[in-house]
Amino acid sequence: MLTAPADVRLALDLVGIFAFAISGGLVGLRTRLDLFGVAVLAWVTGLGGGIMRDVLLGQTPPAGISNPVFVVTALAAGLVVLAAHPVLVDPTRPRARLRTGLISRAVKYLDAVGLGVFSVSGAMLALSLDAPALACVVVGVVTAVGGGMLRDVLVGQVPEVLRREVYAVPALLGATAVVVAERLDALTSLVVWGAVLGVIAVRVSAIVLDLHVPTPQKAGDRP
Whether residue 142 contacts residue 49, with contact meaning beta carbons closer than 8 Å, is answered with yes
Peptide bond into 61 cis (omega under 30): yes
DSSP conformational letter for 217? P
CB atoms within 10 A of CB 69: 12
Residue 90 in this model has a pLDDT that exceeds 90: no
Mean pLDDT of the chain: 87
Q: Which amino acid would we find at residue 15?
A: V
List, for residues 21-44, the tens digit of each pLDDT value. Answer: 999 999 988 888 888 888 899 999
List, for residues 45-81, the tens digit of each pLDDT value. Answer: 999 999 999 999 999 899 999 999 999 999 899 889 8
| Whole-number pLDDT of residue 3 | 47
Strands (E), 41-196: none
| Whole-number pLDDT of residue 214 | 67
